[in-house]
Amino acid sequence: MITTLKTLAGVLVLASLTSTQAVDITGKVSLKGTPPAEKDLPLDPACGKLWANEKPKTRFYVVGAESGLGDALVYLKKFDGKVQDPAKAALLDQKGCEYSPYVLGVQTGQKILIRNSDPVLHNVHGTPKLNKEFNLAQMAGGKDIERSLDQPEVIVRFKCDVHPWMFAYIGVLPHPYFAVTDKDGKFKIEGVPAGKYTLVAFHRKAHGTEEKAVAQEITVADSAVSANFTVEVPPPAQ
Ligand SMILES: [Cu+2]
């Protein structure tokens, strides 16, 4: 009997621990206002051949169902707990003379595999302010380049020195609690420990700098948290 009670108590303690250990934050980022029309990318002939049927455009504002805003980086502004080393490598592909994805979140020190899936030469040029700049040619069929970024920085621009229309934006966070919204503005940050946090939603074009991002205070306890944001299209520059 005593053994049964002890076991039961153990199970209850375990259940309460696990229920406060891994809570997901889900939500949606919506766009308010009408973004400017996207422009055709000025592809050169070699890159144009890779797009036989459609013309790729800029991806400044990716707006999906019910004004959902894609490519927004959502993250905890600060996390003081213990952080595990990132396990998986992130992938930044070059396909059709575009970076894919356009916006990517990584953890400091996380391995980033930069791939060239195109039959043309690219030149991967990271232009950070806080991390170390780098500039590497990558042949067609060349092997993946491995890089990592060691300083937190929102946001690091990658460009291609061969194709002046090619850009990617990488948010580097000192913890794993971030996500990039999907095409309909939805996001999910998994396994956030209990605590009070500032949750930030940053959009590269609408906000430009991290200081202008939208934020809200959230409390993570033992059930899933939902948080929604609205990002406004800024007025046109004078
Ligand atoms: Cu290129």
162 Cα: distance to centroid of ligand 1 (angstroms): 5
CATH number of the 25-232 domain: 2.60.40.420
The strand pairing partners of 76, in sequence order, are 199
> Per-residue confidence of the chain (238 residues) as pLDDT tens digits?
455 545 544 444 444 444 457 799 999 999 999 999 999 999 999 999 999 899 999 999 999 999 999 999 999 999 999 998 898 999 999 999 999 999 999 999 999 999 999 999 999 999 999 999 999 999 998 999 999 999 999 999 999 999 999 999 999 999 999 999 999 999 999 999 999 999 999 999 999 999 999 999 999 998 889 999 999 999 987 6
What is the value of pTM for the model shown? 0.90
Query: In which element (H, E) is residue 29 found?
Result: strand 23-32
Alpha-carbon span 218 to 226, nearest angstrom: 9
56 Cα: distance to centroid of ligand 1 (angstroms): 14
49 Cα: distance to centroid of ligand 1 (angstroms): 14
Tally Cβ neighbours within 10 Å of residue 107: 23
Domain boundaries, the chain: 25-232
DSSP letter string, 129-177: SSS--EEEEE-TTPPPEEE---S-EEEEEEEESS-TT-EEEEEEESSS-
Q: For residue 118, what is the DSSP state? A: S
Tokens of 61: 């504002």
Contact 132, 108 (CB under 8 A): no
